[in-house]
């Protein structure tokens, strides 16, 4: 894991399309592709200049200031999402490729929707229908896609560190959409945004500066979870207190350097939590028997109705999906109003619009 604040990029070179895109559209005129008329989001983002970060591989690439910047941009795109035509021309002429070497429902669709709402062209690579099944290497695959002329590559891979290797092979901006057990930075960003949104609603519209004062528990298979690694970095960067709750076999061998505390006893801490963040057991990554049974896990660590009743009345329930109902969460709790799971998915689109714009933005909506 990189140290917080280190950048993986060297700077964004404006592309030759900037001059054309830089011509402001007349106020109120519809975009040729059907995008909505300029409004508050355009005002906020006008003149936006992409920072000196080309890739997003880890939450640490952004640091606290970068995370807050993505939150601010997401607010602007949330306003776009409410429009009758939720689309802006910000990335017109740019191409975003999604390269998923592992299954995905929400992350891939969310990135593709985000890119389309920014008017980018989208290229989709799916492993089952590609030459990868004929034995083509990752390097040859990504170099082939890059050679078609893309601006960003959103990559998911079963090997931790694969997106970092890809940055050596392609000219495009690389966005990590989940690499092995390492990181899943955009999931952490949408999680921060979702908590911030819930706090804002609770405070009659006053946006909190960060997540200070919150106690957040991440419960479950921390050892194999890239979501946990990214969330710990993001929640801690925004000042939250993070507690990891898991059986010892599902915690990393060492937590040295992690800004967290850890416990094996969910029931002793559940009443103090502001957010409970549940994780799926990553069965595909276990490789050995680490649990007596899933029933036993549910009994000791699952968010049952009884445990949900022991939460503070305004505590938030979160999960990155896919949920395995009856294991880490009981079906009725998953559907309770305190559960933000659908809100997380919804916010994923605006946060990924913010990430794509942050990395590729031409400065013009």
Q: How far is CA 255 from CA 29, 232, 269, 309, 331, in A?
A: 55, 11, 19, 30, 32
Ramachandran sector of residue 302 (left: φ over 0; alpha: ψ -120 to 50; beta: rest):
beta
Binding string, residues 257-296; x marks residues near ligand NCD by CB under 6 A: -----------------------x----------------
Of 116, 184, 352, 358, the one binding ligand NCD (CB under 6 A) is: 184
Of 178, 180, 185, 302, the one binding ligand NCD (CB under 6 A) is: 178
Give yes or no for residue 227 binding ligand NCD (CB under 6 A).
yes
Q: Which is nearer to ligand NCD, 119 or 225 (CB)?
A: 225
Of 320, 339, 362, 364, the one binding ligand NCD (CB under 6 A) is: 320
Report, in Å, the least distance between residue 60 CB and ligand NCD: 18
Q: How far is CA 149 from CA 117, 153, 241, in A?
A: 20, 11, 43
User: What b/e string do you get for 88-99 counting C-beta neighbours within 10 Å, with b at 16 or more?
Assistant: bbbbbbbbbbbb
Three-state secondary structure call for residue 35? coil
How many amino acids of this chain bind ligand NCD (CB under 6 A)?
10
Give yes or no for residue 187 binding ligand NCD (CB under 6 A).
yes
Report, in Å, the least distance between residue 184 CB and ligand NCD: 5
Q: Which is nearer to ligand NCD, 144 or 342 (CB)?
A: 342
Report, in Å, the least distance between residue 186 CB and ligand NCD: 9
- Please give the structure tokens belonging to residue 184: 């899943």
Q: Is residue 21 classed exposed, middle or buried when 0-12, 13-18 and 19+ CB atoms within 10 A define those classes?
A: buried
Give yes or no for residue 343 binding ligand NCD (CB under 6 A).
no
CA triple 210-213-217, angle to 5 deg: 100
Q: Which is nearer to ligand NCD, 157 or 307 (CB)?
A: 157
Report, in Å, the least distance between residue 156 CB and ligand NCD: 7
Q: What is residue 292's DSSP assignment? A: S
User: What b/e string do you get for 47-75 counting C-beta neighbours within 10 Å, with b at 16 or more?
Assistant: ebebbebbbbbbbbbbbbebbbbbbebbb
Give yes or no for residue 163 binding ligand NCD (CB under 6 A).
no
Give yes or no for residue 324 binding ligand NCD (CB under 6 A).
no
Give yes or no for residue 346 binding ligand NCD (CB under 6 A).
no
CA triple 149-361-146, angle to 5 deg: 15
Footprint of ligand NCD on 96-125 (CB under 6 A): 106-107
* Residues in touch with ligand NCD (CB under 6 A): 106-107, 178, 184, 187, 226-227, 280, 320-321
């Amino acid at each position: 894991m990189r140290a917080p604040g280190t950048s993986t990029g060297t700077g964004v070179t404006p592309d030759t399309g900037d001059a054309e895109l830089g011509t402001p559209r007349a106020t109120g005129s519809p975009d040729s592709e059907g995008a909505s008329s300029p409004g508050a989001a355009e005002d906020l983002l006008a003149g936006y200049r992409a920072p000196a970060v080309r890739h997003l591989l880890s939450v640490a690439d952004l640091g606290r200031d970068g995370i807050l910047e993505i939150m601010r941009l997401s607010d602007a795109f949330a306003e776009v999402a409410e429009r009758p035509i939720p689309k802006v021309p910000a990335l017109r002429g740019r191409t975003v490729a999604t390269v998923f070497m592992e299954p995905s429902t929400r992350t891939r669709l969310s990135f593709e929707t985000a890119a389309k709402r920014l008017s980018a062209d989208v290229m989709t690579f799916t492993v089952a229908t590609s030459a990868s099944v004929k034995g083509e290497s990752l390097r040859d695959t990504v170099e082939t896609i890059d050679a078609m002329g893309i601006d960003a590559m959103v990559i998911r891979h079963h090997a931790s560190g694969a997106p970092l290797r890809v940055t050596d092979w392609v000219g495009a901006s690389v966005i990590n959409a989940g690499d092995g057990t390492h990181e899943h930075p955009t999931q952490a960003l949408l999680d921060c945004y979702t908590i911030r949104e819930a706090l804002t609603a609770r405070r009659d519209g006053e946006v909190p500066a960060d997540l200070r004062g919150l106690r957040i528990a991440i419960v479950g298979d921390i050892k194999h979870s890239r979501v946990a690694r990214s969330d710990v970095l993001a929640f801690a960067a925004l000042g939250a207190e993070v507690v990891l709750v898991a059986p010892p076999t599902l915690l990393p061998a060492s937590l040295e350097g992690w800004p967290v505390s850890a416990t094996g006893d969910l029931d002793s801490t559940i009443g103090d939590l502001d957010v409970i963040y549940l994780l799926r057991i990553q069965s595909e990554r276990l490789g050995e028997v680490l649990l007596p049974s899933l029933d036993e896990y549910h009994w000791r660590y699952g968010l049952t109705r009884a445990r949900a009743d022991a939460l503070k009345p305004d505590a938030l329930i979160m999960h990155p999906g896919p949920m395995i109902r009856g294991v880490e969460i009981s079906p009725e709790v998953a559907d309770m109003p305190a559960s933000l799971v659908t809100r997380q998915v919804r916010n994923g689109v605006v946060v990924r619009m913010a990430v794509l714009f942050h990395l590729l933005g031409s400065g013009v909506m």
